[in-house]
Amino acid sequence: MRNILALLCVFLMAADQNTILLTKGESIKNTIHNIINIAQITLVHIKKLKLPATPTEVPTPSIDGLSSISHDLGVLDNELQHPFLIQIQADVSSLEGRVRSFALSMECPLKPKPAVQTDESVFPDSRLYMTVAKVQHYLEKLILNKGKLKLC
């Protein structure tokens, strides 16, 4: 009877170690999938705003890896500080937190979160539209370049 219990314990310990190895790869895959889902949901929320189309291309930062993505999302999060954009800002903030957490788990170097800056723009509505357009273009680029989420 003791031999059977000993074999059962060894079997369970071995099975647990194999599960951990498989789970890490699956965890990375699931995290990337969740990040892309949040980005897609945010794009749906932006489209629901029915803002006028921006006539010019809005410059967005390049997507290099988790460190730069986390920083860029932090900057965009700060730029979205407006009562009209509370849902978009919450989405981007959530996305930034998820990317930051993932980057930390991958041991990527991270810059400190950017400080919120007040903008006393002469044309606040135009700035608002440009910020939303910038977020939209950035998230579209992020979805197209989701492979960069595996890089620091």
By the 10 Å C-beta count (0-12 exposed, 13-18 middle, 19+ buried), 20 is classed as exposed
Residue of 129, 115, 120, 126 lying closest to 85 (CA atoms): 129
pLDDT in tens, 114-144: 776 666 655 556 678 888 999 999 999 999 9
Alpha carbons within 13 A on the beta-carbon side of 80: 24
Q: What is the mean pLDDT of residues 6-18?
A: 48
For residue 4, pLDDT over 60 is answered with no
CATH 1.20.1630.10 fits 1-150, yes or no: no
Which is it for the CA torsion 62, 65, 66, 67, positive or negative? negative
- In this structure, the number of other CB atoms found within 10 A of the CB of residue 97 comes to 16
Q: Who wins on pLDDT, 45 or 82?
A: 45
Instruction: Give domain limits for the chain.
Output: 1-150
Residue 111, C-beta contacts closer than 8 angstroms, at least 6 positions apart: 67, 70, 71
By the 10 Å C-beta count (0-12 exposed, 13-18 middle, 19+ buried), 106 is classed as middle
Burial string for 48-67 (b: 16+ CB within 10 Å, else e) reads eeeeeeeeeeeebeebebbb
Q: Who wins on pLDDT, 51 or 22?
A: 51
pLDDT in tens, 63-107: 889 999 999 999 999 989 888 889 999 999 999 999 999 999 999
d(CA 119, CA 80): 11
% residues pLDDT > 90 (the chain):
47
Task: Note the pTM of the prediction, 2 decimals.
Answer: 0.76
